[in-house]
Amino acid sequence: MTLITCPECGHEVPGDAATCANCGHPLTGEPALPSDPARAAAAPDRAAPWSRAMLIGAAAVVLGSFLPWASVSIFVGSINVSGTDGDGVLTLFIGAVLAFVAFRAMKPGITRGATIFAIVACLILFGIALYDFIDIQRVASDLSSFSDDVASASVGYGLWIVLIGSAVATVGSFGILRKQ
């Protein structure tokens, strides 16, 4: 059986195939290109920019998980609460798994299932960060109404980084899915 290279994604497909099994590009009427590993490696991957966005977002989530998520100030000083003191452990783990998927997505041929897994992971990350953000805002509001400038709480920059990173990773994973 003769293998040809899909002109759209660069994957090898059987010579008698009507469409590419990877990207669905119609192959009828296309000139049959002999399979050439060098040509396939040089074929542009349309999902690569989205993979980089997902990787940057995942890296931001991992970094933000170690940084302060909340700051509590009282009249004698302030305390920073790290992300890894709570839900940051979960975001750290999910962010690391997501970074692995993003690295894998940088090479052509990531499966649709892996992309859908990445989308679900991104949405879970965003949900955790948003929940903690709202919770800290609620505590800050309760403290400000309870104590007259004796104590205050605010969202730390680590939680902001996790929230923004998860949003960027979500956009990147949806972009990869769209290009598949």
Helical (H) or strand (E) element with 163: helix 157-179
pLDDT score at 43? 47
pLDDT score at 32? 45
- Can you tell me which residue has the tokens 């669905």? 24
Domain membership of residue 142 as a residue range: 48-179
- Both 28 and 115 in a single domain? no
Q: CB-side exposure of 79: number of CA atoms within 13 Å?
A: 8
pLDDT score at 21? 82
- Both 105 and 131 in a single domain? yes
- Both 132 and 52 in a single domain? yes
Residues 35-88 pLDDT 10s:
445 544 544 556 688 999 999 999 999 999 999 999 888 778 888 889 999 899
3-state secondary structure of 141: helix
- Both 27 and 67 in a single domain? no
CATH code where residue 129 lies? 1.20.140
- Both 19 and 62 in a single domain? no
- Both 132 and 108 in a single domain? yes
pLDDT score at 147? 61
pLDDT score at 25? 82
> Tell me, what amino acid is at 112?
R
- Both 66 and 8 in a single domain? no
* DSSP single-letter state for residue 147: S
DSSP conformation letters of 58-109 = HHHHHHHHHSEEEEEEETTEEEEEEGGGTTHHHHHHHHHHHHHHHHHHTSS-
DSSP conformation letters of 24-36 = --B-TTSPPPBP-
d(CA 4, CA 72): 63
Q: Is pTM, for the whole model, over 0.85?
A: no
- Both 2 and 89 in a single domain? no
* DSSP single-letter state for residue 1: -
Query: What are the mean pLDDT values of the chain's consecutive 10-residue runs (180 residues total)?
Result: 79 82 75 49 65 95 95 83 91 95 84 91 95 90 71 89 96 88
Among 166, 179, 159, 172, residue whose Cα is nearest residue 69: 159
pLDDT score at 139? 84
Mean pLDDT over the full length of the chain: 84
- Both 108 and 172 in a single domain? yes
